[in-house]
Structure formats: structure tokens, C-alpha cells
A and B are shown apart, each in its own frame.
Chain A
Amino acid sequence: MKRTALTQKLLVLGVDGMDPRITRKFLAEGKMPNLQKFIERGSAREDLRLLGAIPTITPPCWTTLATGAYPGTHGITCYWRQSPESLDAVVYNMDSRNCTAEQIWNITAEAGLKTLVWHWPGSSWPPTSHSENLSVVDGTQPGSVNMGVAQLDWEKVIVASPEIKEVRYAPRVDKPAGVGCIITDLEDSLDADVDDEMMELWWGDTAREGGEIRTFVMDDEDTEVVIGSKVAYDIVNSPLKDATGWANAPEGAKEFTILTSGGVMRRPALILKNEAGEYDRVAIYKNKKAEAPIVTLERDKMVSGIIDDVTKKEVTKPACRSMKILELDPVGNKVRLWISNALDIANDQLWHPKSLFGEIVENVGVVPPVSLIGGEDAELVREIFEPSWVQYNQWQADCMNYCINEKGYEAVFSHLHNIDCAGHQLWHLGKTLSPWDHTDEKTYQGFIEKFYIQTDDYLGEFMHLLDEGWTVLVLSDHGLIVGENVPPIIGEYGGLNTKVMEDLGYTVMKKDENGNSIREVDWEKTRAVQIRSNYIYLNIKGRDKYGIVDPKDKYDLEEQIISDLYNYRDDRTGKRVIGICLRNKDAVLIGANGPECGDIFFSVEEGYNRLHGDSISTSEGYFETSVSPIFVAAGNGIKPGFTTERTIRQVDVAPSVSVLLGLRYPAQCEGAPIYQIFSEDV
């Protein structure tokens, strides 16, 4: 098949979690001028919406965008994959080898276009084409490049004052909002084991190795919005005193101590006076004998690219950190300092070809760490979390522009995670509900705005491409809502959701001596379980390890469960919480059928859904939010200033890329080109 290309160069600017509904609010307020220009110079629907694939979960949706196939077809149906061994366990799923549909970037590379896949969290790693035109960077987790494999040390807040008498270190402290960072009871603050790599932190080494993970979501405390908004970081307390024993300490400097690397690495630091006699800088040294500091920090300025040795598991490596002064008393009686997680500056494990890593480091810079602390602590969100993403966004934009301008890439498929990362920590605080009524929704709505503004700045970094013959697609996998209610315990993607299914009598948990449920399923009494975002599995004899349901009763039991789920009412409001509920064979209507989709697919009803993932993509939330993804196209081959009424589905993106570049469609593609927006009839 031959077709004339409408463009020779195409960039997909993916922004995880970008929601067209709230985007339109910020556009109307004039806060997203760069996106406004893309819209004016290109095509989109009036509402900017893309109809999202189901489930509205990151890896399935990015895989749909890459393949043009529905999740039931490409087989990536949640963040997790169901364990083939156990109904109550999941295994990791961000592995391209699990994908049963062809990715568009293999087609562009094999057709001779130099292709870059940049941190695409859906079936991109490991590379699935041998074409030497294909480069792939990470894609094994959605956070930021290298986050999953290069992390050597965790984030820390250091507090030093004259009242503190000795250096103390407390790893990974869950800090309730508003409580100062002074270690008062070390025994209570210590975890048994503390890991630093994100994969270890989240799920343990077993996850990376493909082992089973069992997570039980039994009450509000187990839900992501509660867990995600807790702020956990290492705390170091140090005396602050006159500098003694230094090779080169300026007049009037006071010293304190920073501990890193699980407490084994120590860096002496000084607070320094300015000409007016006020303390306004912090200098950090390798040791007291060092002539020059590793870095000197000024007030209100985050510094990244700080290279220092970090020890992890008895191995010492140079790592990149960011740092910022949180508070510095001008008369020198207190200093508070944040230091970021540390990223190994030499880890090229997830770069293909590996030479690209070296070129990026040399020409753009080392990968800057992003902060993952903030949550209910508004100061940390304002001072650390949001600005760390601004720095990362700039680095990523610089990397992609370097690859485009200097390396001659012609097709670029990219993903940025800033909005989704913030969404999972903060968005639920955009409405003040009772469990988090110690926070202020206006403050958090302001943070939502800041993340959209920084996204607009990122998009602006690529505006020049429209004048250089490129086609640019701005799109997302899903949006995130600010919840109207505290979500019910069903549909949480992280594991086995027990409460609703226990209430309905289908899942039975083992009990302790007081009759309370423990975190173990009683398989002899369990007829069905709800696991991952939207799936219910019956416990069938002969099929499942501990099956008790006769296969001939399966159809009737499915009907009973569907009926009970529709009748289930939220115990706080008395309203229905289940949206749609379909047998596997019927879920083909929404592309959520087949062997990876359980026996029953269900969604959580609008108003009761969590950030994203459990509802259908048309759900809307508080503060003009929605679960819908966004789509805007501009540049060569796209009608300028055009508004279409066409419903644009996520499966339509990959075949549209095919048409724009004059290439064949992906093998399992189920979508259709968005021909209405093309500049020529095809």
C-alpha cells in the first residue's frame, strides 16, 4: 500500500493526566497562551476532548494510543496484570512483551524514519523492533526518566538549630501536615526496612522480577488518595554552632551536619553571612578540610545538577541531587534545607541505544530528580514539589529539542508525567471533604493551576516546530478529577478491593480472634473477587486454584453479582456507586473484553469515582475537572484554525499518525484516521 505523506516529521507531545475540561477553564482565563496558539494554528474539537479507552488507566491508554487497539485487544488492561496463579495477586505490566498489538513507532522506524520513543509508559520498553532507526528511553514506570532504576537515596529535610544537641537521623518519616521536622521519638519513627529505588519503594524487588504482589484495599486508609497525600521523607536534625576545625570557613559562619545515604554519609555545611551581616546562604562541603564547597545555595532558588557521592548497599557512586533552602534565619538561629532524592548519573540501563544516554548527559545535562513529597504539606508543594517539576520539564524539553535539532529524529513519541504525578498527590485536596478538612481547597486549586501553567510552558518549548515543517499532536491518556465524594472501596487499581464485595457476600476474608477481617482471603467461602481497576473474577472450579463455583453456575452468578452491584448504595450518601457492569463477552462494546479483563467489567459512577481509572472517561468532577483525555493537532497536514465535531477516539490516533506520515496501519488497529482534520482528502 502506498500513500503520499502529509508530513515528513511528527511529534507526539503526550502529557499524562491532562484534562481538556479544566484546560479550557485555564485557556479562557488566558493562562495557557502556548496551547492557545496550537489550537489556533491547528485542529481540535470545541471541547478539546479525546474519547478515552477503558480502563482510564495509564499503561492501557498509552498502549492504545501507540497501537490503535482497544485494551481488550492489546492485552494491557490495567497498571497491573492478573497473576496467572492467584486470583488475589497481580504482577507488573509495564513491559512491552505483554502487549499483543503492534506499536506505531515500529512502523515509522522500519519505514526509514529516525524514531524516538521518550518515556512512553505503555508497551515501549524493551524495544520491540530491531530497526536501527528506533531509539527508546525508559518507559518502565510513568514517573520520570530513570526514576525506577537510578534512585540511590531518598529526599530529606534537614533542620539545624542551636537547641538541637546532637545529630539525629530518622529515615522515611510519615509526617502529618503542620508538624515540625524535629525528631522527638526516634523509636517510633523508624521503619524496619527502608528502600530507595522507586520500584523497591512501591512494590519490592519481587515486582521488578515479575513476582506476585498482594495488596488489599480494605478501608479508606488503604486508598491511594490517603496514602499518596502523606508526606514521607528522611529527617536529619543537627546542632547549629560556630564553625570549628574548618580549613576554609568564612568569618561568622556557623556549621551544621547533613546526613545522606541511609545515615552513613555525612556532609558538613555552613550558613554564611552577607555584607549586611545577615545569614543568607548555605554552603555544603565534602568534609571540613575541603577548600571549596560542593554547592552554595541562595534563598528561594532551587539548584539542580549537584553531583555528590552516595552510598547504597555498600556501593558508592556519584549521583545528581537538587537542593533548596526552606528557611534560613537572618540572625543564624535556624536553618531548614531540602535535598532531593539522588539519581545515579551513570545508569543507562533503560536507554536504547546506550550511546544516546551519554550524548544527552554531555549536551543537555544529567537527569534531574523530581520531588515526590508534598501532599498535604502546602509549603513543600509550593517550594519543592511544583518547582522540581518545572526543572524536570525544562530538561526533558531540552533533550527532545536536542534530539530533533541535532540528532535528526523525524518521528518523536513523548510523554511527560507532571500533571498525573501531582494529580495523584493533590487533586483530591481540591475539594475539602471531611477526611482532609485540615487542608484548604483554594490552596490546592491554586496548585492545579500552577501545574497547568508549567505544562503550557513545556508545550511552548516546541512551538518553533510548527514553522519548521513539523506536525505536533498534543494529547493525553486520561484526565484526573477532583472527587465530589470520598470514593467507595471498589475500583482501586492497586490491588484486591474487599469492602463492597465483602458487604455483598462474594468475597470472604479470614477473621482474627475478635472477628475482624484480616488480610487473607478465605477461598473456601469466596465466590468472586474484585481486583485491579475494573475487574471481577469468579472463583471457578477447575479454572482457579481454590475454585468453589461450579462452571455451570457461572452465568447465573454473574447475573446475580451484576444485579447486586447495581443495587449497592454508598453508606455515606445512600446513592448508587456502580456505573456500568458487563459480562466479559458484552464488554467488547467498550473494548474491555478478552482474557485479561476478568469475568465482569464494571465502572464506578460519576460522583463516586476516584481520580481516574475506575470510571468511564466521560466522567466529570468538582472544580471543572474530568477524566477525559485531550487532543489537539497542528502543523503540516492539519487544517489550521479548524474545529471538528467528529468524536475522536484514542484508537484513532495511531492510524492518524500512519496517514500523516504515509505509512501502513498498525496490524491490530481498530481505530480510523481523523480524516476530517487533515489538510488534504485521503
Chain B
Amino acid sequence: MKRNRREFLKLAGITTASVIGATSGLTMAEASGSGEAKHKAILAKNQKALTAKRWGMVIDTTKLQTASDIEPIISACHKIHNVPEMTNKNHEIKWIWEEEFKHVFAEQEHELVNERLRHLPFLVLCNHCKNPPCVRACPTNATFQTKEGIVMMDFHRCIGCRFCMAACPYGSRSFNFQDPRPFIKETNKEFPTRMKGVVEKCNLCAERLAVGKLPFCVEASNGAIIFGDLDDPQSEIREVLNTNYTIRRKPALGTGPSIYYIV
């Protein structure tokens, strides 16, 4: 049997079309089958969950005068989040830590700065910026901003490129240069650890907000940290911001930090 080119092309076209049709029909049937099961399962928020348009914090440094006021807050956070205590200072991991005025508010520092401020230990953590540079830098979307304004990390997706660490002007991010597990003194079994090669930082206790609890540092601060919805004019935090003079870290960079300080 001799075929000319026209006949051959026709046959090839029909065959291709029928194969595509059959496979897409099969996948459609498969998808609708499993889709039915998925449709019945419901994904929902916990009813007790605390919600906000934009979470924020006010740290009242007048109530945190000494390192011993701050230490319990740091250890509370680091304990429940399985933050390791690295022996090598270069490998240090920190979610919330203590810093001097000249480093926290570098632009405001001068040689005649108030003696109290000069020696005051400041509590610093991720600022959960409104316009977070780390999120823009992340090539895998491992770092992202939630609808509630929390700058979160999906550790599963972090490839450890550390662009976010370079982008963050506050040094809020730490990299796991080695397996952190041997350096965790007491593990909290309910929270995962991290693994070698990922970046980590404060998550504003998203896992606690989801079950209706306040962030652990807020709870451990005895009222020195005020937490709430910055977008709600009726909230306690807005009242505090309204009645006190507050400053933020490096405001000129335009990152819009959500952590405010009463100094």
C-alpha cells in the first residue's frame, strides 16, 4: 500500500488527536474521582484562633530595665521553639535576643546619648515588616508574608541560600551551619526542630495564635510587651501607641517594622 504525504499527515493527525483525547479524558475522570473525596474533607481555622489584619508589638523598655528582666523572655521563646544553643558563636541561632542601644537604633546613637539608654538592654526580634525585604529576596518563596502580616518561613522549602539574611537589615535571621539537634538542651516534642542548611527566625508564635494563645514572649514579659492588631483602631496596642511616644528600628529603610519601642 502506497501512501502519499497528504494521507500520511491525515492519519498522523487523527492518531495524535485520539491519543490526547483519551489520556485527558482519563485524567479528568481521575481528578473528578479524587476531587470528590477532597471536596468532602474540610480545611478550617481553629475557632479559638486569634486573628488580625496586621499583628504588631510594642516593647515597653521602661519595664525591662535589666538583663535579668529580659533573660526569662528569651529562654521561654527559645525553649518552646527548640532553638539550639550553639557553642560556636559564629553558628549562633537566635529568634529573640538582647542588644545595645547603639546597635538597635544605630541612626539615633550619638556620643551624648542618655546614660540609661546607653546601658539599657533592648529586646530585639524579627520586625515582621510591612514591606519585608527578605520575602523579596527569597528565590523559593520559602519566606512569605501571611494575610495577618506575619513574616513566616516554610522550612520545607528553604534551600539555605541565605539571600534573606543578606536582605534583612535587622539581623533577625540565623542559619543552621550544622545539625541543631545535639545543641537543644530540652526539646519541646510538640514543635519541630530545624535541620542543617536552613535559615530560621521568629514566627511570631503563629502556632500559638492558631490555638488562641498569645505569643510566648508576650506571656513571659509580665505586661512589658503589648501585642495586638495594628489595623484595629480599637485595639489595646493602638491605645498604647496613641498614648506613648514610640520608635521603630531603621524606619528610613521603608521596611515598615511592626515592632515598636517605648524608650
Bound together: no
Residues of A within 8 A of B (CB): none
Residues of B within 8 A of A (CB): none
